[in-house]
Amino acid sequence: MKRTGIIGTGKYLPENVLTNAALEKMVDTSDEWIITRTGIKERRIAADNEATSDMAVKASKQALSNAGLKPSDIDVIIVATITPDMFFPSTACQVQYKLGAPNVAAFDVSVACSGYVYGLAIADQFIRGGLYKRALVIASEKLSSVTDWEDRSTCVLFGDGAGAAVLEQVDEGGILGVHLGSDGSKGDLLQLPAGGSRMPASIKTVENKLHTIKMEGNVLFKHAVKIMADAALAVTEPLGMKGDDIDLIIPHQANIRILNALAKKMGVDPEKKVYLNIEKYGNMSAASSAVALTEAVEEGRIKKGDRILMDAFGGGLTWGALVIEW
């Protein structure tokens, strides 16, 4: 059976850069503390009139151009996001309309930071099963719209951006293996409490800032390291692969300490085999993996025949890992 490969990638980062120095003036924090604890030096913030779908479209146009395709060549659009333009219609439908991709299937995936890996896995199944020929998978997040800018434990972490990939059947390489999982019992470690059916919007929820990200950082950190390491093993071991067999790891850019711990558990040199851009963009949820993959391609870190491990965890809790041969 032929496999599914990525034939084009793209990204979009907002122009506005929010540095640690600027954050020092907003909350009680310091550049040294942020860099030491997270590895983040700056992050991008979308404009007030720039929605998640707008960023998604810009990343998609670049991915389509790099693939040598038009929007009309796409059969399905999958958007991974936890910051949709609105509850409904889906952000994917907004992207479909703005791109001018007529009558294609379009839907959102809401699994937080694992969204891009989930989206790629879903597209793989569609293509391998023969239902669709080409898929456009996008991860786009405007986390600045759901960040409490007075909460120093979270506001230093997050940024905005989008990445996209075009997938189709390939003769060589492609996605070799996928592992996905979840644990809803730990959902309260990372959540946005209000705005849904359980806690509809009210004056009280707004006053209590329940429409912003809430996170139990210390507990989540411990789970994240184990989850990402376990997910990596779950996808590589059935393929008979070890750390040395992977040419580049593209992890979710959550926290530099988590990523260094992951590299240690896998027995690889983080400077040689782990792609990092967290210092420039912070945590963009699902978009982190998408942008990192695109930049790794742009920088020549990924070459034909390379085996790439993508590894992510997010609210839910959810996790996902996949191995792709470029």
Contact status, residue 231 vs residue 223, Cβ threshold 8 Å: no
Catalytic annotation present for 93: no
Residue 34 is given by DSSP the state: H
Catalytic annotation present for 283: yes
What Rg value do the Cα atoms of the chain yield, rounded? 19
Q: How far apart are CA 125 and CA 135, in angstroms?
A: 11
- Report CA-CA distances (Å) from 122 to 127, 187, 235, 249: 9, 23, 16, 21
Q: What is the secondary structure of 126-166 as a DSSP string? A: HHHTTS-SEEEEEEEEEGGGG--TT-TTTTTTB-EEEEEEE
Residue 236 φ then ψ, to 5°: -85, -35
Q: How far apart are CA 264 and CA 243, in angstroms?
A: 10
Q: 307-314 and 248-251 as β-strands: parallel, antiparallel, unpaired?
A: parallel
H/E stretch holding 19 reads strand 16-19
Any idea of the CA torsion for 17, 19, 21, 26, to the nearest 10 degrees? Answer: 80
Q: How far apart are CA 107 and CA 265, in angstroms?
A: 36
Q: Is 81 in a helix, a strand, or coil?
A: coil
Residue 153, both tokens: 């434990």
Catalytic annotation present for 218: no
Identify any residues that bridge with 8 across adjacent strands, giving them in sequence order.
166
Per annotation, catalytic residue among 20, 179, 252, 255: 252
Per annotation, catalytic residue among 93, 113, 179, 255: 113
- Report CA-CA distances (Å) from 148 to 39, 114, 177: 20, 22, 38
Contact status, residue 164 vs residue 60, Cβ threshold 8 Å: yes
Q: Is 239 in a helix, a strand, or coil?
A: helix
Catalytic residues: 113, 252, 283
